[in-house]
């Protein structure tokens, strides 16, 4: 096999790998959405104090942000950065922060869909 044949095979393999990577990247956005819903469950925990719920949800939202970074979608990364900031904003009332995070469900789904 000559040098050109090896080069052609490498290019074809690279293109095939890149196109498969785009398809695989789409699936990497759903774990971020799943982590958001886990954070919602943290907020809805029965009998927990609001601050404890927010603390647990914020930790889970940091996981969602990590998953968004793996996904590589800038809009999703910014969305979860904003939600993490809401959860960790000690200057706002706890119930207000919880409400904001709970009400981000539709926006989260929309951003995940837009990333695909």
pLDDT, tens only, 48-104: 789 999 999 999 999 999 999 999 999 999 999 999 999 999 999 999 999 999 999
pLDDT of residue 45: 84
- Owner of token pair 């695989």: 24
pTM of the model: 0.75
CA distance 5 to 9: 6
**DSSP SS3 for 75:** helix
Neighbouring residues of 114: CB distance < 8 A, sequence distance ≥ 6: 73, 75
pLDDT, tens only, 21-55: 444 445 579 999 999 999 999 999 877 789 999 99
CA distance 73 to 86: 20
pLDDT of residue 27: 58
pLDDT of residue 31: 94
């Amino acid at each position: 096999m000559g040098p050109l044949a090896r080069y052609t095979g490498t290019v074809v393999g690279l293109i095939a790998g890149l196109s498969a990577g785009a398809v695989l990247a789409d699936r990497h956005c759903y774990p971020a959405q799943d982590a958001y819903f886990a954070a919602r469950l943290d907020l809805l925990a029965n009998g927990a104090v609001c601050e404890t719920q927010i603390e647990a949800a914020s930790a889970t939202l940091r996981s969602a942000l990590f998953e968004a970074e793996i996904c590589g979608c800038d809009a999703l990364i910014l969305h979860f950065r904003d939600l993490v900031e809401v959860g960790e904003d000690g200057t706002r009332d706890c119930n207000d922060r919880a409400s904001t995070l709970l009400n981000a469900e539709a926006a989260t789904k929309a951003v995940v869909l837009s990333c695909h």
